[in-house]
A and B are shown apart, each in its own frame.
Chain A
């Protein structure tokens, strides 16, 4: 998570749902600390969600993750009150939706919250366009306007041209795109996605995840995503809430959940996770030793000698990566009086910091120099050495940067200082 100022979009406070007739008595027992099964025995009421507390920030993807029966679907349905909480407060933009009357609730559902369902829940007797229009139709938006918005929304999910088909003429992946378009057509701030991709096959699921991330990037909606698939949760979640038996066991970023599980349950849950698909280049890079391009080959040579490396990255004043020089070339250049710029190799392996490790294996294993990690402006962020990659995959925390970044200011400063002192050293030798 970046540390920009984030607004709380949804706050769930002490929210409990008990199904069954004796919910009052069951709530009392719950307060006394009885377990779910004890309460079921005593009152024949089922605890769906037990004292949930969490916040969702504006613009984040908040994943609620748990196995079936853990209460995640119940929890998400309380956010738009498809299920009424037994006890608790749910604030949406600071307004308590639990105390709203039917009319106020309807306005919230129409304007603020869109929902996507596991089995798509498209209306079989309506065309794709009519399905997408539905949310606007019931708000009595004029036909021309709602059709325009629905078409726009279908275009957004890549379904332009399918307007007049019926849902049963489309594949599962396409049907869920319609589900997504229908939810987006109303222009809600919040999307609730209840196992939205669980009914799709793995390849299509991955495509949909990518597209959702892209849409999220473009539109900045707050998304609450329910899943039972940990890989999916780790892949798309900014933060994840893990549920077990109706309780939220841990809330945190994917790294926090993986690296510091709050209890044995979470630990067991995440132990089989393929770290290579979760960790990124940013997580395992270490600070890079560089030389600025306007220094001479002798400086570069000296630096390599001192660090006992055979090549070094060359950057400009703004730390933009230009290429690398090898010790061999530097020796030749120093003899013939060439500048660093003339001998640098610009074709070096580089990746953005959010590249996942699986995509790095190939390059890291064959590259002759450490792989460079760069940001959007091609500034050098760090390098990846083979040992760190293997160490991180084994789960060894000393190779993993918890926040996914390394401190650059400090990094640059030390290199700078390094170069300065070296330069004077070279000069005195010369």
Chain B
């Protein structure tokens, strides 16, 4: 059947666009790639020097400092269990990938969220892009990421950043917008500048909501580790991927369980970071 309209070659356009970007900005991407892999691999090297039991202890101390003793205890036992299963090094690789991704998701996402909360125009542009980032199947990011950054950990980091950033942006906007109107009026009535209003009142009050966004970003980033392993990112995700392709059900569960333990630890710690040390909240 003849088509009424000629089919537009979207796919070709995107391919051309990617080619053009790679051709034009190749050296820039190489630079970014070197930088990111340096961070991830460097931190894995450093962490793997420390004996696993000491590192587990340090992690749980950190957990105690940020959250509660119960969570600290769970963290310690959880890390030792992963070590016992023999996945300590892949776990460190995964942790480096996740933390790096989330770090970039935060330092890019929070400012965009703040900007969006102040300007309706920005919000109108950002929101549909966020929808796209979240609903586009994550595999699709991997292909261009390979073209730009080769295979390895870097395309994994980039795909994770893109996939995990939306909650941080959205909840930052939401948290700032939810600060009651009369508090905003009060800051204005005393003659605050925009930055004083944001820095002294809105952002501190939005902190629990922003932290909920960060927590969601961490969870999304963890959910990306298996996908990232398909482009060569090492870590627990790679172990899972290998177990699945080799039909090793037992190993698959073991490694999957290790990921779950890390996820629970990170989730509980960040949940507490949002709630803690508030003299009073809006509610």
Contacts and interface: CB of A to CB of B under 8 A. Distances in A.
Interface of A: 77, 80, 82, 105-110, 113-115, 117-119, 121, 123-127, 134-135, 137-139, 166-169, 182, 186, 192
Interface string B175-216: 000001011011111111100100011001100000000000
Contact of A125 (B185, B187, B190, B281): B281
B185 A82 contact: yes
A125 B191 contact: no
Nearest to B204: A125
User: Interface centre among B192, B205, B281, by most A CB within 10 Å?
Assistant: B192
B185 A124 contact: no
9 contacts: A106-B191, A110-B190, A113-B189, A121-B183, A124-B281, A125-B279, A135-B191, A166-B279, A186-B190
B188 A109 contact: yes
A107 B191 contact: yes
B6 interface: no
Nearest to A108: B191
A125 B275 CA distance: 12
Contacts of A138: 187, 190-193, 196, 200
A382 to B, nearest CB: 45
B216 to A, nearest CB: 23
Interface in B229-283: 278-282
B200 A117 contact: no
Contacts, number: 73
A124 B279 contact: yes
A121 B190 contact: no
A109 B193 contact: no
Contacts of A134: 187, 190, 200
Given A80-B189, A135-B191, A125 B205 contact: yes
Contacts of A135: 190-191
A176 to B, nearest CB: 13
Contacts of B205: 123-125
| A interface secondary structure, majority | mixed
Contacts of A117: 182, 185-186
Given A137-B200, A138-B200, A126 B279 contact: yes
B182 A125 contact: no
B189 A166 contact: no
B280 A166 contact: yes
Contacts of B192: 138
A232 to B, nearest CB: 20
Contacts of B196: 138
A366 to B, nearest CB: 50
A121 B186 contact: yes
User: Interface centre among B190, B193, B278, by most A CB within 10 Å?
Assistant: B190
Nearest to A139: B191
Q: Which 6 A-B pairs give the minimum distances between C-beta atoms?
A: A109-B191, A110-B191, A115-B189, A121-B186, A121-B182, A124-B280
Interface of B: 180, 182-183, 185-193, 196, 200-201, 204-205, 278-282
Nearest to B192: A138
Nearest to B195: A138
A381 B281 CA distance: 56
A106 B193 contact: yes
B190 A82 contact: no
B190 A124 contact: no
Contacts of A168: 280
Contacts of B193: 106, 138
Contacts of B278: 125
Nearest to B188: A82
Nearest to A137: B200
A170 B231 CA distance: 58
B188 A119 contact: no
Contacts of A137: 200
B186 A115 contact: yes
A137 B204 CA distance: 16
A123 B185 contact: no
A80 B187 CA distance: 12
Nearest to A119: B182
A108 B191 CA distance: 8
Contact of A124 (B188, B200, B282): B282
A82 B201 contact: no
Given A106-B191, A134-B190, A127 B279 contact: yes
Contacts of A125: 204-205, 278-281
A203 to B, nearest CB: 24
A167 B186 CA distance: 15
Contacts of B183: 121, 123
Nearest to B207: A125
A182 B201 CA distance: 15
A168 B187 CA distance: 19
Nearest to B185: A82
Contacts of A118: 182
A106 B280 CA distance: 29
Contact of A123 (B188, B191, B201): B201
Contacts of A113: 189
Contacts of A139: 191
A321 to B, nearest CB: 49
Contacts of B204: 125
A133 to B, nearest CB: 11
Contacts of B188: 82, 109
Contacts of B190: 109-110, 114-115, 134-135, 138, 182, 186
A113 B204 CA distance: 26
Contacts of A121: 180, 182-183, 185-186
A379 to B, nearest CB: 45
B204 to A, nearest CB: 5
A192 B279 CA distance: 28
B189 A82 contact: yes
B187 to A, nearest CB: 8
A112 to B, nearest CB: 10
Contacts of A82: 185, 188-189
